[in-house]
Structure 1
Amino acid sequence: MSPAALSPTDPTVRRLKGSPLIGNTWEFKQDRLSLFSRTYQDCGDLGVYRIAGDDFHLANSVELVHEILIRKGRLFEKTDRFRAFARPLLGDGLLTATNEDHKHNRRMIQPRFHNAAVKPSADIAARVAATVSGRWSDGDVVDVRREMVRLILGVVGQNLFSRDILDDADELGNALTDAIHGFDSMASALVPLTIKWPTPANLRYRRAIERLERTFYSILADRRAADRRPDDWLNLLMETRHEDGSPIGDKQIRDEALNMFMPGHETTATGLAWSLHLLAGHPDVYERLTDEVDGVLGGRPPALDDLPRLPYALQVFKEAMRLYPPVYMFTRQATEDVDILGHRLPAGATVVFSPYALHRRADYFPDPGRFDPDRFSPEREARIPRHAYLPFGAGHRVCIGNHHALLNGHVVLAALAQRVRLHSVPGPPPAEEPMVTLRPGGGIPMRVERRTFPAPAAAGGGAPERRARPDGGATGSPACPWSGAQG
């Protein structure tokens, strides 16, 4: 392989070799995960690759993460490219907002992510997990990617809108998939085209957006017509006022709703799907998880107070997101010339962060390709370099729902391990499909084995009278390790 060349904009930064005409565009479209790994291997912590005539600086060290996202974060915005392709779906919500607007929007949304909202979220996750897994029969083969999308859409629908959308989950999941494909097609095109161009991918993107909007505006209309409004996130938005006291419009409510709804389901569902795939391939880890769940819960559904005594379930989820981070890449754009650890980035320069590549640095995670949930035991997690684990970003634009995503993943894994054991079926392993998120391409078919346990003892003690599978519902007090959410 030819050595990397020096970047003409800064001779301290190496440039990845590529085609004279299209740079590394084809590699980005075909195997972008390898492109990130190769850029790091050939160029070091900061290297440049080229797509469709534009330079992209891959920053792949904890020092660069801290310098760009934390210390000098206000000098970097979301990229113009991202906004152009995401706005048809996400509008002017939290994810696409400029730094200045982001501060205002985040203050508006933050209240629904305070500690009082945590207990209902845990209860909902346990209940929906029981409902979805209760539909699986012993011996069924289910696509856990599809099932986790349905499950988390059910959780997010209840959390955000107090609405049961399980019956619509497949249709909404398909619309979200089409939207993701449309966004990715636009973002990786050799000649970028706006959504107005009638390409097949753009037409699917438009139809997906229309389907999602119909669902949301129907929910909003029902809420406005209701005699009583639940105290949920949608109600918070409906009661939000501008500085002059006027209510925010339906368009802004729509934008913020889709900004929460799409990432809120996609990242957690994808992380859970990969978790279940990894568990099936590591029986010793799976056995340890079920032993923990059985020992703590004894047949009753998981509740918020149980989570501190179910640490291994969370370790499994965290380690799965290390190996397969749902948000495997994100970008920033310099707003002015800026010096970064001895390198000069010009105004407008695009910086790429890849948690996928960062999480595979052997100096941060020894034997990085091995699935080892004990990396996230309290004593070992404390030794991981700060910012080496980046599933939710970092800095002032860290994912607002990061703690809720971990909470939901924690509860759902425990609830599923209690009810079923999922086994791999013959066939090739799921392919890594990096689009907007790192999905398992083609789904993950798995065989269901129902589990049984002693039923919970009656209040006041006493041995259980029969063996039964636990059903839905969850209770618990607000005390939990999920306080201090950054949002």
Structure 2
Amino acid sequence: MVLESTSTLNDTVPKVDGRAVIGNTWEFKKDRLELFQRTFETCGDLGVYSLAGEDVFLANSVELVHEILIKHGSLFEKTDRFRAFARPLLGDGLLTATNEDHKRNRRLIQPRFRTAVIRNSADSAAQVAGTVAERWEDGSVIDVRREMVRLVLGMVGRNLFSKDILGEADDLGNALTDAIHGFDSQASALVPLTIGWPTPANLRYRSAIRRLERTFYTFLAERRAMAEKPDDWLNLLMECTDDNGVPFDDKEIRDEALNMFMPGHETTATGLAWSFHLLSKYPKVYDRLLAESDEVLGGRLPTLEDLDRLPYALQVFKEAMRLYPPVYMFSRQATADVDILGHRIPAGASVIFSPYVLHRREDYFPDPQRFDPDRFAPEAEKQMRRHSYIPFGAGHRVCIGNHHALLGGHVALATIAGQVRLHSLPGPSPVKEPMVTLRPKGELRMRVTRRNQGTTATATPPPRTAEADAAPACPYGHQVETT
């Protein structure tokens, strides 16, 4: 059933049915992916559902991505609701900043972030992945979701702080999970409450923020005391200055560091967890991944120079993020009345994009439920509709860490493939848990079969060439949106 739009919306935009007063709020809390899919199937490319008394647009086509996020991107900000529940943790960093502040800070951070530490990122990813996988005993059962969180926190710890934080990974991972639950509790509340209200979710959220801040400020104090500072993301932030030459203060560094730390771990860890689930269900795909790792690496850790010769590992990771995009939804809010492809989006209205639903359009991805990494083979990827694949968003606010996330997933898959094969246990498939990110709900238990006695970093890699050192830092394909 399709209801007529409210008076604030263009009459040509259809609306899904909902309950009196609360609209589709219960559906959003219970199964928001199904709500988004139903809205698209019922209403078409642009539809409306109601959340806590507010009408919300769902935009689900490549044309709407282009119109709203790129052509008219300056007229759409992050939503007030997102800022309200994200700022206690993320402050005024890139994820929550206004368009004006975002443009200034991104201009200061982005050039070095993309290039200065990419080689260190590749080396760190391989070393951490190798260390984590070496600990898995043959025949043991591991929680892959938990292990991927530990692995990626280890990567991010090295990239951001030049520190080995694997020993703290479980504690930090729990804090980040509490923060995510706090995000989601406020985002989907019928009556949103500020973080000051002493609800159980808010208390856990505040405790998580304190835990993460303690870690950060300890590391920052240690760094300021160093005579020689390592070339990492924290040093990048400490060296940033505004147009007047004034460096970031501690609060600004804290905000941007946590904006890198939280999304940087969550996107890659979740993408890797779903990758191993899918690989176990598609053994021929898994065989091909293992064969590629064996042929190229022969039992050693990958280097940056190896990545061009490990294309299938990257294709696997990209396809997993098509089916299970960690950032399965994101929102924008119109700052003025905007005409979009014959429809009026009024000032103050929220627009939702769902990569999960967009990536399942059959006209963009034939047989969309099938796991097929060959969709991202170089020539096939070039044929994709632009903006049909947006796991990191699109436009001027595309995730600044998109290339680092792909690099981490690429290296981790190739490294782990050289050491073990993971097998699903009998029983039902994991349940999707769409909170701030699209995690597997609960544990993702898989059995380990060791393929050798461990990958070694001492095996001889191919010689480094001047051409490799001068190559583009992140050649990850046109379908990963950039500014």
Question: Same fold by TM (over 0.5)?
Answer: yes
1:381 maps onto 2:412 in alignment: no
Deviation, structure 1 residue 279 = 0.3
Written as runs of structure 1 = structure 2, the 5 A alignment for 1:105-184 is: 105-184=105-184
1:478 maps onto 2:463 in alignment: no
In structure 1, list runs of 5 or more residues that go unmatched: 453-467
1:429 partner SS: coil
Instruction: Give, in whole Å, the separation in 1 of the partners of 2:473 and 2:136.
Output: 30
Instruction: Give, in whole Å, the separation in 2 of the partners of 1:473 and 1:253.
Output: 36
Counterpart of 1:460? none
Deviation, structure 1 residue 481 = 6.0
For residues 93-123 of structure 1, the C-alpha deviation after alignment (integer angstroms, 9 at most, x for no partner) is 0100000000111122113323342211111
Counterpart of 1:193? 193
Counterpart of 1:226? 226
Instruction: Give, in whole Å, the separation in 2 of the partners of 1:240 and 1:199.
Output: 38
For residues 289-311 of structure 1, the C-alpha deviation after alignment (integer angstroms, 9 at most, x for no partner) is 11111111122211111111111
Instruction: Give, in whole Å, the separation in 2 of the partners of 1:266 and 1:276.
Output: 16
Q: Say if 1:17 and 1:117 are closer, same or farther in 2 by CA, change over 3 A.
A: same
Instruction: Give, in whole Å, the separation in 2 of the partners of 1:479 and 1:289.
Output: 28
2:164 partner SS: coil
1:318 maps onto 2:318 in alignment: yes
Work out whether residues 181 and 201 of structure 2, in 8 Å CA contact, stay in contact via their aligned partners in 1.
yes
| Percentage of pairs with the same residue | 71
For residues 216-245 of structure 1, the C-alpha deviation after alignment (integer angstroms, 9 at most, x for no partner) is 001011111222211222112222234443
The one-letter amino acid of 2:469's match is: P
Written as runs of structure 1 = structure 2, the 5 A alignment for 1:187-266 is: 187-266=187-266
Counterpart of 2:327? 327
Deviation, structure 1 residue 344 = 0.4
Work out whether residues 318 and 373 of structure 1, in 8 Å CA contact, stay in contact via their aligned partners in 2.
yes
Deviation, structure 1 residue 482 = 4.3
For residues 183-216 of structure 1, the C-alpha deviation after alignment (integer angstroms, 9 at most, x for no partner) is 1001100111000000000000000000000000
Counterpart of 1:437? 437
For residues 47-74 of structure 1, the C-alpha deviation after alignment (integer angstroms, 9 at most, x for no partner) is 0000111111000000000000111111
Size of the alignment, in residue pairs?
471
Counterpart of 2:4? 5
Instruction: Give, in whole Å, the separation in 1 of the partners of 2:471 and 2:244.
Output: 38
Instruction: Give, in whole Å, the separation in 2 of the partners of 1:371 and 1:395.
Output: 27
Instruction: Give, in whole Å, the separation in 2 of the partners of 1:185 and 1:89.
Output: 14
For residues 6-63 of structure 1, the C-alpha deviation after alignment (integer angstroms, 9 at most, x for no partner) is 3432111001100011000000000000000000000110000001111110000000
Deviation, structure 1 residue 266 = 0.4
Work out whether residues 118 and 478 of structure 1, in 8 Å CA contact, stay in contact via their aligned partners in 2.
no
2:13 partner SS: strand
In structure 2, list runs of 5 or more residues that go unmatched: 477-481
Work out whether residues 49 and 57 of structure 1, in 8 Å CA contact, stay in contact via their aligned partners in 2.
yes
For residues 459-482 of structure 1, the C-alpha deviation after alignment (integer angstroms, 9 at most, x for no partner) is xxxxxxxxx532246965536564
Instruction: Give, in whole Å, the separation in 2 of the partners of 1:327 and 1:201.
Output: 21
Q: Say if 1:82 and 1:377 are closer, same or farther in 2 by CA, change over 3 A.
A: same
Q: Say if 1:325 and 1:480 are closer, same or farther in 2 by CA, change over 3 A.
A: farther
1:13 partner SS: coil
For residues 108-158 of structure 1, the C-alpha deviation after alignment (integer angstroms, 9 at most, x for no partner) is 211332334221111110000010001111011111110011001000110
The one-letter amino acid of 1:3's match is: V
Work out whether residues 24 and 49 of structure 1, in 8 Å CA contact, stay in contact via their aligned partners in 2.
yes
Work out whether residues 7 and 48 of structure 1, in 8 Å CA contact, stay in contact via their aligned partners in 2.
no
1:469 maps onto 2:449 in alignment: no
Instruction: Give, in whole Å, the separation in 2 of the partners of 1:129 and 1:74.
Output: 40
- With the length of structure 2 as denominator, give the TM-score of the two structures: 0.95
2:11 partner SS: strand
Written as runs of structure 1 = structure 2, the 5 A alignment for 1:422-461 is: 422-452=422-452
1:176 partner SS: helix
Counterpart of 1:458? none
For residues 332-391 of structure 1, the C-alpha deviation after alignment (integer angstroms, 9 at most, x for no partner) is 011101100000011111100000000010000011111111111112212211000010
Q: Say if 1:319 and 1:35 are closer, same or farther in 2 by CA, change over 3 A.
A: same
Work out whether residues 23 and 53 of structure 2, in 8 Å CA contact, stay in contact via their aligned partners in 1.
yes
Instruction: Give, in whole Å, the separation in 2 of the partners of 1:291 and 1:162.
Output: 33
Counterpart of 1:345? 345
Instruction: Give, in whole Å, the separation in 2 of the partners of 1:95 and 1:6.
Output: 31
2:418 partner SS: helix
1:182 partner SS: helix
Work out whether residues 90 and 258 of structure 2, in 8 Å CA contact, stay in contact via their aligned partners in 1.
yes
Work out whether residues 149 and 173 of structure 1, in 8 Å CA contact, stay in contact via their aligned partners in 2.
yes
Flag as ranges the 4+ runs of structure 1 deviating above 4 A: 473-477, 479-482, 484-487
Instruction: Give, in whole Å, the separation in 2 of the partners of 1:59 and 1:237.
Output: 35
Deviation, structure 1 residue 443 = 2.2
Work out whether residues 403 and 482 of structure 1, in 8 Å CA contact, stay in contact via their aligned partners in 2.
no
Instruction: Give, in whole Å, the separation in 2 of the partners of 1:138 and 1:123.
Output: 26
Work out whether residues 128 and 472 of structure 1, in 8 Å CA contact, stay in contact via their aligned partners in 2.
no
Written as runs of structure 1 = structure 2, the 5 A alignment for 1:75-90 is: 75-90=75-90
The one-letter amino acid of 1:469's match is: G
Written as runs of structure 1 = structure 2, the 5 A alignment for 1:53-68 is: 53-68=53-68
Between 102-111 and 398-407, report the one with greater CA deviation. Answer: 102-111
Counterpart of 1:459? none
For residues 266-316 of structure 1, the C-alpha deviation after alignment (integer angstroms, 9 at most, x for no partner) is 000000000001001111000011111111112221111111111111110
Instruction: Give, in whole Å, the separation in 2 of the partners of 1:133 and 1:64.
Output: 42
Work out whether residues 90 and 258 of structure 1, in 8 Å CA contact, stay in contact via their aligned partners in 2.
yes
The one-letter amino acid of 1:445's match is: R
